[in-house]
């Protein structure tokens, strides 16, 4: 027996509810439906298969839909600046966030220059940590990487 239903009638359960609701809240339902068609190919998945996929592959789903994952790595301005200084053999002095949400790092290089400045952007921060994306969250006052 084959069971099919219209995707708009699909109702998830367990953890898949959270994933499904988040996708819906971010207006990504059309993209989800296209993604599921790609994932399941010519096979018509059951409601259980869709639910299990959303539940167990949520990070893959979020990535495919260009959404942030649930478990973001987060760093504040000083953590990022200190990491940059360590990786560039510089001595950290202080750091701040400029109006463009770039990190301004003040450091000394040990060669007599007391206060040098480096400005790093979101893409530089992502590269520093080996991630693909970085965004400043002003409400939480930290950078989110994924």
Question: How far is Cα 44 from Cα 26, in angstroms, rounded to an integer?
Answer: 25
Contact 4/44 with Cβ under 8 angstroms? yes
DSSP letter (8 states) at residue 88:
T
Contact 120/129 with Cβ under 8 angstroms? no
Question: How far is Cα 26 from Cα 98, in angstroms, rounded to an integer?
Answer: 29
Question: How far is Cα 135 from Cα 126, in angstroms, rounded to an integer?
Answer: 9
Q: Which helix (H) or strand (E) holds 128?
A: helix 122-128
pLDDT at res. 2: 44
pLDDT at res. 4: 62
Average pLDDT score, the chain = 91
What average pLDDT does the segment 13-36 reach?
Answer: 95
pLDDT at res. 3: 44
pTM given for the model: 0.67
């Amino acid at each position: 027996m084959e069971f099919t239903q219209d995707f708009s009638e699909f109702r998830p359960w367990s953890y898949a509810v959270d994933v499904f609701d988040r996708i819906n809240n971010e207006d990504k339902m059309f993209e989800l439906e296209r993604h599921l068609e790609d994932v399941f190919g010519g096979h018509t998945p059951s409601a259980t298969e869709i639910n299990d996929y959303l539940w167990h592959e949520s990070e893959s789903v979020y990535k495919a839909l260009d959404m942030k994952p649930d478990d973001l790595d987060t760093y504040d301005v000083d953590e990022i600046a200190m990491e940059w200084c360590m990786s560039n053999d510089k001595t950290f002095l202080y750091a701040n966030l400029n109006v463009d949400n770039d990190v301004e790092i003040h450091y000394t290089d040990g060669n007599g220059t007391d206060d040098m400045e480096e400005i790093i952007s979101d893409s530089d921060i992502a590269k520093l940590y080996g991630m693909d994306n970085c965004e400043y969250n002003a409400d939480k006052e930290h950078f989110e990487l994924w």
